[in-house]
Structure 1
């Protein structure tokens, strides 16, 4: 089958090839999030993507290559909300929007959040270069924004890294520990009403400690 020759060789892809690649990555994300890198099988991913193993291997030569592609796509989506933090914007509005985007990601892509968490807990062997490169550069840029807001008296002078880590931990909890949340509350972050309640509570707690007195 020639439809996969180009992707395997890194050339320009057709629309069909792009669709097939997307199907593979979607199926791989679910498999890796559920079974981990070691437990997921290429045959299993091919079946979920609706194609043969040989056809899948036209697009990705190995499970490792596929795993790295899934992580790269995941990180691009995961980092997108942080990039939108506008240094010229109002801190409350900007951080509220960021928290909302992170909660929406947890609601709409829980497998992606869990896969990222699993990769990091394993020591981030496949994405350490990204963590130490593009992610660090982006976080350095945005901690600079938070420091500027503090210097201008628009927020309290808190450690900007800890603020970002706090937002990550609280918002991603709703994806990574969804069964626990459902068991304890009977609610799901995919429910827009519940997500709005969560955002309201998180922003109130964060801003009570972050914003200076009026």
Structure 2
């Protein structure tokens, strides 16, 4: 008969020192390995820190590009929007309605961009999944590491939808700021400044 060589014990918070002392007291051939210590050996490796730094840099650069694109798009159309808002205000449009109008005007393209971003992100993950080895990023190649099957790359819905919602919120915020700025100038002043004479 094969002799039992492993005893698995579970508990809320095992005391490593007490377990090792009991194993030493029982004999020379016994050792204690805790799952929490084994997991700690696989985390916070330089590869993981580098991957997280690249991910954070990509998020920052993507947010910066989105902000620049939204600002440039709205600044390019600012004179036309301001003149339109001023003309509508002379016909009885209130400031609140003007802000709502500018927000609703920029909403369709923001929703389309958000949907396109989610679709492209999902397609990128689906295409890159067969060639990306997550085991190298998640686990260190330390001593005693066991060979696992695979850790497939999959799309996280929150990681795709939150940046897309951020683009929509950013577009709405910039449109609201533009509407407030345009509302501070009187419609007569704006229409006179846009007069070709």
Task: Return the TM-score normalized by structure 1.
Answer: 0.22
More helix by share: 1
For the pair shown, the structure with the greater C-alpha radius of gyration is 2
Q: TM-score, normalised by structure 2?
A: 0.24
Name which structure has the greater RCO, CA cutoff 8 Å, separation 6+. 2
